[in-house]
């Protein structure tokens, strides 16, 4: 498990945005992972997708690493942001835009506005 913790730490350090999810960004394998990946994909955020179903040590390790019990988990510039509900709320409130702006992560602002308009 120590190897999994080091691998997770390295992944969140080496990538600006990381989504630990069930499945992949092109083929999510749960609704919650699909929702977060869909938001990031639609907004044009470049991110590393880590399929926790492919490695049980990573699947449990990410829960221990973040002290957060559920997947998906989004990290931006090494910082744990949250899971599906938090990312959904942040997207709709504009907080995700603010976070991405603060961290210098490129995304499509017009796409983010479209998500909010569609859910208003």
Binding residues for [2Fe-2S] cluster: 30
CB neighbours of 33 closer than 8 A, spacing ≥ 6?
19, 21, 22, 23, 71, 72, 84
Q: Residues comprising the binding site?
A: 30
The Cα 53–Cα 15 span in angstroms is 20
Q: Mutual orientation of helices 84-93 and 109-118 as an angle, nearest 10°?
A: 100
The Cα 93–Cα 103 span in angstroms is 18
- Residue 75 and residue 12 in contact, taking contact as beta carbons nearer than 8 Å: yes
């Amino acid at each position: 498990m120590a190897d999994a913790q080091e691998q997770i730490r390295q992944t969140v350090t080496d990538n600006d945005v990381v989504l630990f999810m069930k499945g992949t960004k092109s083929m999510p394998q749960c609704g919650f992972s699909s929702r977060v990946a869909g938001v990031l994909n639609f907004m044009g955020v470049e991110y590393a997708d880590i399929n926790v179903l492919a490695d049980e040590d990573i699947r449990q390790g990410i829960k221990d690493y973040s002290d957060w019990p559920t997947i998906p988990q989004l990290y931006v510039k090494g910082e744990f942001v949250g899971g599906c509900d938090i990312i959904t709320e942040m997207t709709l409130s504009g907080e995700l835009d603010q976070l991405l702006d603060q961290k210098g992560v490129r995304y499509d602002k017009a796409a983010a506005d479209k998500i909010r308009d569609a859910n208003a």
